[in-house]
A and B are shown apart, each in its own frame.
Chain A
């Protein structure tokens, strides 16, 4: 474990151009008591000290179960939610300390695609107004130019431009998501946070939207932070993947490394729990079924947050010390005492459980 770096190291390959850099990002929501005089009695540590980078042109997948803080992370990066502490560097400039006009100018380069295409489009606005609004806000082009741009954007995302005077309710879920994507593209951003962009859609529509996102990335050189709970989809779309558990990143690696040789016991359990639509492969699997539920982020467990559910946790170590995210192999980061402890071969051999995943490769 000579590769182990100090806490706060930069989990990004040495090569590659960093577009977004997140340093010690924390978002804590206060819990208050009392009606008139509100006293702070605690905090939900939704995001609890993240350090990572997003490289220009890549898709970084951010996965985890509900309540792990992945959506809050996405919002805090875009400053839709102000971080409690920490820095978010966009092309080297800190966003967390910008406000007003200067923040708005930066926002033009960062956009978001939301999960629910029913809630994220204003039902009283026409498609033309929805897609054109970012252009208006950022005072881009004349009325005529904006109209032309909206038509072009709709064409790009696969919506008939002649429908621009219609309202959102006249479109299906998948079409609405396309409209949301057109809106995000309007100001020609470099970076898009996709927050569960397909989970509200029908199965047969999901693939269409995934393919569209990939096509747009190629065409416009976009950088994505792709937030999702579906590990199969994240594997399909991401270059690198970060796994979150209770407000922290527990593992971060290149796509193939994370899926084929995961090191953290949580990642291993998560991967083995993903259902595979193939009865033969399901039969061969020996899943690591975790006991219990995700603990509350109000009162996270001591030491390693995962120790209460970890099949390999060691008393006196995992429940006491908080493991830092260290570079175990080049580009492969994990936060687990057992990986760094040389006398514990069990976890290293944990690939056993994943053998099924690799072995099923030639099935069907």
Chain B
């Protein structure tokens, strides 16, 4: 099946290894997924699971990662980003694919005015005149909810609060009408009331601009209200994928179950103690021979220690990389899922 109009992005066996003193670190291990135009997907996992490295590959930044060896394919709009020359990637990056970073304090250049930051992309990618770019920038700032935008365009990033800076980031990211928006922990640095504002804004604008969004986060709560489909990563691999509602209602992977049950929720009665995922996240340079989650898994059996399970379909649109996926699917192995 080739890339057709229903697929905007297709990753096939993306693998990223880093050479380090401790040995080869398998940051991303044969990651494959597809994204339809306008689709909202959540990529969830803990620090070191490979979610940000995956995002770097999608935006063509792996060339800048030292000691990295990359294989696989990242097809965007029919072109493999991994084999394109830097000059062509530059045309795509910022125009067709844009990115929102976690920390709005460090990701906006402090010596450039909002005007410079905003108009750069418009002039470079869309060939607008400076005057037209300024007008469009003011419009965009208004759309993301910056009050009196015309009066603030000459300001510098430090004159804005964290939430306002993240709005500026979103305005910049959307300025060239991207087909794909990567948001790497877009609300982690923000307060909860501001987080709610930003998530609503991103969801609304992605519909208006018909942009597909990949939200990368460690917080399942952030993607629950926003994304249609969820990808869960652990130790460099996608361990579960599927539409949000059924996935949250009955996860097919013990790691997803652990993530969901180890956080207290406001909509559930209080419990005496929290369920925990035993042990520690794995060392990516010294992964166990079998399933990387086996040492922490309550379902682990003999086969889990010898071979790594592949990501296989469980229900339509859903997949799990677990030997016990059938038990979880039928509900008999749900254990702590409650």
Seen from chain A, the residues whose Cβ lies within 8 Å of a Cβ on chain B are: 65-66, 172, 174-175, 202-208, 210-211, 214, 229, 231-233, 235-236, 255, 259, 269-283, 285, 287, 289-291, 293-294, 356-357, 360-361, 363-364
Instruction: Collect the chain B residues with CB atoms within 8 Å of residue A293's CB.
Output: 161-164, 194
Cβ-defined partner of A207 (8 Å) among B269, B277, B338: B277
Instruction: Collect the chain B residues with CB atoms within 8 Å of residue A289's CB.
Output: 193, 196-197, 200
Q: Please name 16 further chain A to chain B contacts, defined as beta carbons within 8 Å, in addition to the given A279-B244, A290-B197, sorted by A numbering.
A: A65-B191, A172-B281, A202-B281, A204-B281, A207-B263, A232-B266, A233-B264, A259-B266, A272-B196, A277-B219, A277-B221, A277-B248, A277-B265, A285-B225, A293-B162, A293-B163
Interface size on B, residues (CB 8 A): 48
CA distance A214 to B272 in the complex (A): 9
Instruction: Collect the chain B residues with CB atoms within 8 Å of residue A274's CB.
Output: 192, 221, 266
Instruction: Collect the chain B residues with CB atoms within 8 Å of residue A202's CB.
Output: 46-47, 218, 281
30 A-B pairs with C-beta separation under 8 A: A172-B280, A172-B281, A202-B218, A203-B262, A204-B258, A204-B276, A206-B263, A207-B263, A207-B275, A231-B192, A231-B266, A233-B264, A236-B274, A270-B193, A273-B196, A274-B221, A275-B221, A276-B221, A277-B260, A277-B265, A279-B224, A280-B245, A282-B224, A287-B196, A289-B197, A356-B267, A357-B266, A357-B267, A360-B268, A361-B269
The answer to whether B259 and A203 have CB atoms under 8 Å apart is: yes
The answer to whether A203 and B218 have CB atoms under 8 Å apart is: yes
What 0/1 readout, one digit per residue, does chain B (159-192) give for beta carbons within 8 Å of chain A? 0011110000000000000000000000000011
What 0/1 readout, one digit per residue, does chain B (268-301) give for beta carbons within 8 Å of chain A? 1111011111001100000000000000100000
- The residue on B at minimum CB distance from A68 is B191
| A174-B280, A276-B221, A280-B249 given; A204·B259 CB < 8 A | yes
CA distance A247 to B162 in the complex (A): 19
List of 10 A-B pairs having minimum Cβ-Cβ separation, nearest first: A360-B267, A275-B221, A282-B225, A236-B264, A273-B196, A65-B191, A207-B262, A207-B274, A277-B220, A204-B277
CA distance A287 to B196 in the complex (A): 9
- The residue on A at minimum CB distance from B267 is A360
| A204-B259, A289-B200 given; A278·B47 CB < 8 A | no
- Least Cβ distance of B338 to chain A in Å? 6
- Least Cβ distance of A268 to chain B in Å? 11
Instruction: Collect the chain B residues with CB atoms within 8 Å of residue A278's CB.
Output: 224, 248, 265, 267
Instruction: Collect the chain A residues with CB atoms within 8 Å of residue B7's CB.
Output: none
Instruction: Collect the chain B residues with CB atoms within 8 Å of residue A203's CB.
Output: 46, 218-219, 259, 262-263
Instruction: Collect the chain A residues with CB atoms within 8 Å of residue B193's CB.
Output: 65, 269-270, 273, 289-290
The answer to whether A273 and B221 have CB atoms under 8 Å apart is: no
- The residue on A at minimum CB distance from B194 is A293
Of residues B260, B268, B269, which shows the largest number of chain A Cβ atoms within 10 Å of its Cβ?
B268
Contact residues of A: prevailing secondary structure: helix
CA distance A206 to B46 in the complex (A): 12
The answer to whether B281 and A279 have CB atoms under 8 Å apart is: no
Of residues B197, B218, B245, B274, which shows the largest number of chain A Cβ atoms within 10 Å of its Cβ?
B274
The answer to whether B266 and A276 have CB atoms under 8 Å apart is: yes
Instruction: Collect the chain A residues with CB atoms within 8 Å of residue B258's CB.
Output: 204
- The residue on B at minimum CB distance from A171 is B280
- Least Cβ distance of A101 to chain B in Å? 40
The answer to whether B276 and A208 have CB atoms under 8 Å apart is: yes
CA distance A360 to B225 in the complex (A): 14
- The residue on B at minimum CB distance from A238 is B270
B62 within 8 A of A: no
